Amino acid sequence: MKWLVLLALWPSLASAYERIVVVTVGISDYRHDFSDLPNGALDAERFARLMESNPWLGRVTVSRVAEKDATITGIKGTLRAAGRTACADGGCTDQRRSLVVFYFVGHGMTHGDEGFIVPREGKKGDPDTWLTVVELRSLLSQEELRPVPHVLFVLSSCFSGTLLRSDTIPTDAELRAASPAMGGYITAVLGRQARVGIAAGTGGQSVPDGPPGQGSDFGRALINALTPLHGLPDMAADQNRDGCVNHLELASYLHNKGQSEHNHPTLGTMAYDDGGTVLLCRLKRPAVVKAPGPIENPKGPEVLRAPATEPPVAVESKPAPAAERPNPAGIDWVFIFGGNFVMGSDAGENDEIPAHSVTVSAFEMGRSEVTTAQWKACVAAGKCPDPTYVPCWDERSKTIVDDPCPMVNVSWDEAASFATWARGRLPTEAEWEYAARSAGREQAYPWGNESPTCAHAVFDDGGRCGSGDLSKAVCLKRAGDTEQGLCDMAGNVLEWTQDWYGAYHHREQLNPTGPAGGRYRVVRGGSWSSFGWDLRVVDRNRVEPAKRSRSVGFRIVRRP
């Protein structure tokens, strides 16, 4: 647990580094017998654009290694040049510290116990054409890179974990619960040399490239991690909201968001160091940076837009900690990282088409649907009407109970009024689907891809999982929870969302809110009367906003 001392509160931050030099290598077109990687160059270019355009990082220089130059000689030469750039004009002194970031997207290999990255000229079965971890570590000890205080390697390649000396990734809960450390934190950790690495997978894991033109899971997660949150002065991976993303937080974020069934990102060191910490800290005032333009897909004519980086508001005060914020309804709030995901489906029903790219900012969502007890608190406060309450079935006591039942039989306007009183709002349809996907994962149900069973959800499977024409007490089906712990996102009761019902569009969107008006509001999630097909995270339903139903409830969200 020694990493706990690395998390600190540091108000009025300046950039941690005098200069940040980024080297990107993305290989899509291999010359010999390695398969092409359609997203290799795209992932690297997206990262380069983000680092250039992120207004919180300060002075950033990006060196892109063109595919034709992505040879052993070209990669090593660019890294040496990056070291010289970082240290120019005294940039590597105790007073003026620099950071070099190396991001590689391409094939990786192992031979014996040794790990390799594969340059464009690499050949299968010929380790002499690969770049070894020994050579990479040797670079760090040579005159160009040796004086650089901090170096971060981010490796998106198969078996990339073999290039690192492994370390332990702290959990989200540990990071977010860590106490602020000593006041001299930044000076202390920046004064120690750091040679750290984050790999997209462990030593024995392959790393999927992802659908062409969409980027890999790891690549998208890396972009999301360092994207400023919409309207807030923090990057998404800043888990304790102290204004800095250190490499432990970044590794934890990527471990949660950048994994698939094939790979699990891991943390380690590239070489022995002094226990320093890479810190990406926001400036007290954002730099004025030109917004990123379109990114050409190297493997096709489609033009892709860089992740939206709406100019953040220069806010020096942070939101009050959750324990200090008003919570009149007693909502159990769950933090959901913001990010990019593919919303909808090209293989579903007509209103689920087309699948399209959406980015949502971080938010907090109620762990369960709003309960009757929470609604009654609103009634007592004079802010909500006193409707006809509908009991539910409690499997634990095998009786009909009044609480903890999902609050149903309320209109959209009534649900929105409750949300306002509770210091929140109804979720947008995009936020709802993102949360139901366990924060944007490509999966069919909140719990994964396994077909629904009575252990997962309350639904109509022919009589075994339901309870007549009643819902069930909230949060009984824990096997159906999302990875973040949201319960009943599938089944039990449908849930009102903020959006009017309308058709999807192909274009990429940031925090979409649906049509400006309409006849119906969107409800999501399926209910006790739904079939298994209706529990999919992409399934959409529509209800007139004035209608009240015993199968429609809601949950609320708020800004972190």
Label each residue of 392-431 as H, E or C: EEECCCCEEECCCCECCCCCHHHHHHHHHHCCCECCCHHH
Instruction: Supply the DSSP symbol for 178.
Output: P
Residues 256 and 399 in one domain: no
Residues 226 and 335 in one domain: no
142 within a domain of the structure (yes/no): yes
Question: Cα separation of 434 and 336, whole Å?
Answer: 9
Question: Which H helix or E strand runs over 105?
Answer: strand 98-105
Question: Cα separation of 525 and 512, whole Å?
Answer: 19
How many whole angstroms from its chain centre is CA 527? 28
304 within a domain of the structure (yes/no): no
Domain boundary pick from 289, 314, 330: 289
Q: Classify 190 as helix, strand or coil.
A: helix
Angle between helices 372-380 and 412-421 (to 10 degrees): 70
- CA–CA distance from 83 to each of 21, 47, 121, 310 (Å)? 8, 20, 24, 31
Number of helices (H), then strands (E), in the chain: 10, 26
In this structure, are residues 546 and 413 in contact, taking their beta carbons and an 8 Å threshold? Answer: yes
Backbone dihedral region for residue 170 (phi beyond 0: left; psi -120 to 50: alpha; all else: beta)? beta
Residues 219 and 349 in one domain: no
Residues 333 and 262 in one domain: no
Residues 411 and 271 in one domain: no
Residues 267 and 376 in one domain: no
For the beta sheet containing 363-366, the strands, ordered from the edge strand earlier in sequence to the opposite edge, are: 333-336, 363-366, 557-558
Residues 363 and 467 in one domain: yes
308 within a domain of the structure (yes/no): no
Backbone dihedral region for residue 485 (phi beyond 0: left; psi -120 to 50: alpha; all else: beta)? left
Domain boundary pick from 289, 314, 339: 289
Whole-number pLDDT of residue 318:
36
Question: Cα separation of 465 and 84, whole Å?
Answer: 65
Max Cα separation, the chain? 76
What's 87's domain CATH number? Answer: 3.40.50.1460
Sign of the CA dihedral 555, 416, 320, 378?
A: negative
3-state secondary structure 349-404: CHHHCCCEEEEECCEEEECCCCEHHHHHHHHHCCCCCCCCCCCEEECCCCEEECCC
Residues 436 and 542 in one domain: yes
Q: Tell the residue number behind the tokens 């007890």, with chain if given.
A: 373
Report the Cα–Cα distance between both ends of the chain, in Å, rounded: 27
In this structure, are residues 65 and 74 in contact, taking their beta carbons and an 8 Å threshold? Answer: yes
Whole-number pLDDT of residue 248:
82
Residues 352 and 278 in one domain: no
Backbone dihedral region for residue 413 (phi beyond 0: left; psi -120 to 50: alpha; all else: beta)? alpha
pLDDT tens sequence across 67-87:
999 999 999 999 999 999 999
What is the residue type of 514?
G
Q: Tell the residue number behind the tokens 């033009």, with chain if given.
A: 303
3-state secondary structure 445-459: ECCECCCCCCCCCCC
Question: Cα separation of 144 and 149, whole Å?
Answer: 12
- Can you read off the two tokens belonging to residue 376? 């009654």
Give the HSE-up count for residue 114: Cα atoms under 13 Å, Cβ half-sphere. Answer: 14
In this structure, are residues 40 and 84 in contact, taking their beta carbons and an 8 Å threshold? Answer: no
305 within a domain of the structure (yes/no): no
Residue 192, domain extent: 12-289
Angle between helices 217-225 and 247-257 (to 10 degrees): 140
543 within a domain of the structure (yes/no): yes
Domain boundary pick from 242, 267, 289: 289
Question: Cα separation of 458 and 351, whole Å?
Answer: 24
For residues 277, 282, 284, 288, the Cα torsion angle rounded to the nearest 10 degrees is: 140
Q: Tell the residue number behind the tokens 């069919």, with chain if given.
A: 444
Residues 258 and 328 in one domain: no
Regions in the chain scoring below 50 on pLDDT: 1-13, 172, 175-184, 230-231, 284-323
Residues 342 and 199 in one domain: no
Whole-number pLDDT of residue 399:
87
548 within a domain of the structure (yes/no): yes
Question: Cα separation of 82 and 88, whole Å?
Answer: 10
501 within a domain of the structure (yes/no): yes
297 within a domain of the structure (yes/no): no
Give the number of domains in the chain. 2
Pairing of strands 494-500, 552-553: parallel
Whole-number pLDDT of residue 316:
27
What is the residue type of 31?
R
What is the residue type of 141?
S
DSSP lists the bridge partners of residue 512 as none
Residues 338 and 207 in one domain: no
What's 490's domain CATH number? Answer: 3.90.1580.10
